[in-house]
A = this chain, B = another copy of it.
Amino acid sequence: MQYLGLNELIKRALEEDIGHADITTQNLIPVDHQSRGIFYAKSPGVVAGVEVSQAVFKYLDPEVKFTIYKEDGSEINPGDIIAEVAGSTATLLTGERAALNFLQHLSGIASKTHAMAAAIKYFKAELVDTRKTTPGLRVLEKYAVAVGGARNHRFGLYDGVMIKDNHIKAVGSIQKAVSTLRIKVPHTVKIEVEVENLDQLQEALESRADIIMLDNMDIETMKKAVEITAGQALLEASGGINESTLVEVAKTGVDFISVGALTHSVTSLDISFNLQ
């Protein structure tokens, strides 16, 4: 992955953990003591963030050797060695937790995403993420979603238009909102409108929105929305969709299903680090 902000993120993670010094390690481990350590899986899932973990150690000490055995996107099982790191024992012990915090969190996202994406892989619908991400980690979390096999929705308020209920209220109508934005935003971004019922859907279609989000609709209404739309716009289902409702939603024929829980409710993947 190429991400300009990565080192800044790593710096902050290390600073909040190390502060003025790792007082245990610094006072205990001789400067020239060398070790090898491995990251290994303790539960099954999909790896994401192994390069980030590598960058954590490299940030502390460019001399460290980091060997990746499971690239991001690999499925792993308990016992699998994900990566090995060799170098100064002090660096390994000081960097271990920060590296794991990234790796376990991102792998948690990739694993959950992978499971949900797999569940609908024979449907047209694509699983997409949302802006419900952990503050400061948007780019990495969306990266983990992609690694897990889903697709990224817009990254922020700047690279896609989403007209929500509240925008419509302030402006008067979907029609007016879409036509205003159509001539003001860069012609390179699409316009998406959030609708809550079939009347609004109709209005959105007439205003020629590029994408229409069906917000918290029941399955029957979604089906009708798909029929009515008939390919005139892309349809995105959204609102509290989870593992148990996902397939049913996919069956309605929508183009995209967005799931906030991919990034806002994550179970860390169980990965450990051991010196050899």
B128 near A185 (CB under 8 angstroms)? no
Residue of B whose beta carbon sits closest to that of A138: B16
> How many Å from the CB of A242 to the closest CB on chain B?
11
List of B residues within 8 angstroms of A164 by Cβ: 24, 93
Does A230 make an interface contact (CB < 8 A)? Answer: no
CA of A162 to CA of B188 in the docked complex: distance in angstroms?
A: 9
B19 near A156 (CB under 8 angstroms)? yes
Q: How many residues of A contact B (CB 8 A)?
A: 98
CA of A128 to CA of B185 in the docked complex: distance in angstroms?
A: 11
Taken together, the copies of this chain in the complex come to 6
Does A58 make an interface contact (CB < 8 A)? Answer: no
List of B residues within 8 angstroms of A268 by Cβ: 132, 260-261, 264-265
Does A244 make an interface contact (CB < 8 A)? Answer: no
List of B residues within 8 angstroms of A183 by Cβ: 151
Does A18 make an interface contact (CB < 8 A)? Answer: yes
CA of A9 to CA of B151 in the docked complex: distance in angstroms?
A: 27
List of B residues within 8 angstroms of A275 by Cβ: 166, 169
**Contact bitstring A95-115, B, C-beta under 8 A = 1, else 0:** 001101110110010000000
Query: Contacts A131-B17, A167-B28 hold; do A155 and B152 have CB atoms under 8 A apart?
Result: no
Query: Which A169-205 residues sit within 8 Å CB-CB of chain B?
Result: 169-171, 177, 180-181, 183-190, 192
Query: Contacts A94-B2, A166-B93, A170-B29 hold; do A160 and B135 have CB atoms under 8 A apart?
Result: no
B29 near A167 (CB under 8 angstroms)? yes
B138 near A17 (CB under 8 angstroms)? yes
B24 near A157 (CB under 8 angstroms)? yes
A101 near B133 (CB under 8 angstroms)? yes
**Contact bitstring A19-49, B, C-beta under 8 A = 1, else 0:** 1111111111110010100000000000000
Query: Contacts A2-B90, A93-B167, A267-B265 hold; do A186 and B155 have CB atoms under 8 A apart?
Result: yes
Residue of B whose beta carbon sits closest to that of A18: B157
A167 near B24 (CB under 8 angstroms)? yes
Does A65 make an interface contact (CB < 8 A)? Answer: no
Partner of A189, one of B16, B104, B151, B190: B190
Q: Which residues of A contact B (CB under 8 A)?
A: 2-5, 9-30, 33, 35, 60, 89-90, 92-94, 97-98, 100-102, 104-105, 108, 126, 128, 131-139, 142, 151-164, 166-167, 169-171, 177, 180-181, 183-190, 192, 211, 234, 255-256, 260-261, 264-268, 274-275
Besides A16-B135, A33-B170, A187-B190, 5 other A-B contacts (C-beta < 8 A): A19-B19, A19-B155, A27-B184, A97-B132, A101-B135
